[in-house]
Amino acid sequence: MKNLITTSIVLFISVVSYTQDTTLNISPSNLYKPIKGDIGFTFATQANITNLQLGNFNDAFGNNSLFMRYYVHEDIALRIGFGLTSVNKTYQSVDSVSTTLVEWDSTYSRTDFYISPGVEKHMYASDRLDPYVGASFNAGKIGRATMKGVTMVTDTSGTSSGTDQYEVNGTQDGGFLFGVNLVTGFNYFISERLSIGAEYSWGYNVVRTGGNWTQISTNTPVNGSTTSNKQQGAFLTTLSNLGVNSTAGITLSYFFGKPR
């Protein structure tokens, strides 16, 4: 709801500006908008009355991604979203219960990749208002997850020496994303090469996650022999959707190029 209200305010400002430009008979001069050869970067914003925060676009997996445009002509822009996220998490804990010391160490790693190329057709509305339509292709891969956990139990009473160790190693297949989207939006240039705007998309996306998984448990006691147990299976989820999505309530873009 907040994004919708903010977007409506921006649309109202744009319409007022367009009306003023028309009344004053201001001719198109590209003083504000990008021209051929310009490159722009776009950020998502979270705005309220007292605060404005910038952030990255999120890809279809929810990870941060870089979004940019390149103008091959004044009214044609190539666009691309790109995301590469490597997750490496480490968890550690130490707990003492009576005469027993329990140490736990765990790691988790995964790498995701996402790319979304597309094209935009920009339509003249005024010197500042820049509506556009376009299409994009989405593709991404969820990396294979690797997990390891080690639990060590030590008797601190002195009645026994050594440490019991229990280790678990696991892997889980990742997945992929595929989609085709139509996009529509606008930029409103508040100064030369700097704009705010909004964008919506409509399309079909398929996300498939999971697959084969394995888990190997190894128990190494202080006294006795080491035992090992292996488990494996498959868990697969496929989600598809067709509909309209708000890719950004409000955006902020800046374009770089040769001096005018």
At residue 187, the pLDDT reads: 93
Whether residue 133 has pLDDT greater than 80: yes
At residue 12, the pLDDT reads: 43
- Give per-residue burial for 196-229: e unless 16+ CB within 10 Å, then b: bbbbbbebebebbbbbebeeeeebbeeeeeeeee
- Digit-coded pLDDT (tens) for 90-107: 998 988 877 788 999 999
Q: How many structural domains comprise the chain?
A: 1
Give the residue numbers spanning the domain of 161: 2-256
Whether residue 86 has pLDDT greater than 70: yes
User: How far is the C-alpha of 63 from the C-alpha of 9, rounded, in Å?
Assistant: 28
What is the maximal distance between C-alpha atoms in the chain?
A: 94
Most confident residue range from 15-24, 228-237, 244-253: 228-237
Mean pLDDT of 76-94: 91
Whether residue 201 has pLDDT greater than 80: yes
